[in-house]
Structures are given as structure tokens and as C-alpha cells.
């Protein structure tokens, strides 16, 4: 079965990321102090992408969007986000163009061998059953 993204937007609405947001803020503050940030910087620097393009939402809002997130294993730094590139039809505005490779551009395999994992959303093109 060919696995392909159907661009349904479910895995981006919300995004679930385990990340230390204080570290992100500190990193960006130091690295990009007095720097004019370019789009190139954003798509090549995951932490800058998180800082510039994602907005954290509450777990309640995330669970309303995707109820099964309630039972996913959580990390102490699990956060839920909306992405500025997801339009109101739940399509990624930069799909196949500029998505950061190690953030969402490489999802779900990130250059590794394909894995069949049923944790993907219902209807996801990478889901085996
Ligand atoms: S849930 Fe699957 S099919 Fe939908 S956007 Fe994400 S990767 Fe693509
Ligand atoms: S850039 Fe596109 S694929 Fe990546 S998180 Fe944002 S909406 Fe999702």
C-alpha cells in the first residue's frame, strides 16, 4: 500500500510537541538578538519555527479537537499548538514547499525506514489499517 499524506491537516490540528518552551524562548532571544529573521531561517531552524509560527493552545482545547490525545502518553513538557500555516480549511499553506524538514516536513518517517504505526489519525495516509 502506498503511503502518502492526504493533506487532511489532522496531525497539525493541534500539533503535539514535547519541548521546553523556556529553552526555546531563551535560545531565540540569544541567537536572533539584533538579527532580521528570514523565511530561510524559520524553515531551517526548528526552534525558531516553534517560536515564530506556532501558538500554544490549552490541553482542554486540544482534547476537544482530538479526544484521543487524552490517552496518549504525555511527557512533562508536552505542549499543544496551532500553526500559522494551517488555513481555515485545515490545509497547510506551505505543504511540499517550505516545511521544516525535522519538524513537519519529514513527518512521519524523518528519513528512516517506513514504519507502520496505528497511532496515526483515522484516515491518515500513513496509517496501515
Ligand atoms: S494526518 Fe496523515 S494524511 Fe493527514 S495531514 Fe497528517 S500526515 Fe497527512
Ligand atoms: S507548516 Fe504545515 S505541516 Fe507544518 S505544522 Fe504548520 S500546517 Fe502543519
**What are the pocket residues of ligand 2 if the criterion is a CB atom closer than 6 Å to any ligand atom?**
12, 15, 83, 85-86, 92, 94-95, 99, 104
Residue 22 alpha carbon to ligand 2 centre in Å: 22
Percent of the chain's residues with pLDDT above 70: 92
Which residue matches cell numbers 526555546?
A: 24
Angstrom distance (rounded) from CA 82 to CA 53: 8
**What are the pocket residues of ligand 1 if the criterion is a CB atom closer than 6 Å to any ligand atom?**
5-11, 120-121, 124-126
Angstrom distance (rounded) from CA 76 to CA 85: 26
All structural domains of the chain with their residue ranges: 10-105
Residue 71 alpha carbon to ligand 2 centre in Å: 23
Q: Which three cell numbers stand for residue 76?
A: 512533562
Q: What are phi and psi of 43, to 5 degrees?
A: -80, -10
Sheet with 15-18: strands ordered across: 15-18, 78-83, 54-57
Q: What is the mean pLDDT of the chain?
A: 88
Measured CA to CA in angstroms, residue 74 lies from 35, 68, 78 at distances of 35, 12, 6
pLDDT digits (tens, 9 = 90+) for 17-65: 999 999 999 999 999 999 999 989 998 999 999 999 999 999 999 999 9
Please name the helix (run of DSSP H) or strand (run of DSSP E) that holds residue 59, with its range, or none: helix 59-65
Amino acid at each position: 500500500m502506498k503511503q502518502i499524506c492526504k493533506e487532511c491537516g489532522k496531525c497539525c490540528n493541534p500539533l503535539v510537541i514535547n519541548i521546553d518552551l523556556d529553552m526555546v524562548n531563551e535560545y531565540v532571544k540569544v541567537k536572533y538578538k539584533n538579527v532580521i529573521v528570514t523565511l530561510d531561517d524559520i524553515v531551517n531552524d526548528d526552534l525558531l519555527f516553534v517560536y515564530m509560527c506556532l501558538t500554544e493552545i490549552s490541553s482542554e482545547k486540544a482534547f476537544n479537537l482530538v479526544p484521543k490525545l487524552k490517552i496518549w502518553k504525555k511527557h512533562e513538557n508536552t505542549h499543544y499548538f496551532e500553526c500559522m500555516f494551517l488555513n481555515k480549511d485545515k490545509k497547510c499553506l506551505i505543504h511540499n514547499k517550505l516545511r521544516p524538514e525535522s519538524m513537519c516536513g519529514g513527518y512521519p518517517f524523518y528519513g528512516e525506514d517506513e514504519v507502520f504505526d496505528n497511532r496515526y489519525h483515522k484516515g491518515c495516509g500513513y496509517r496501515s489499517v
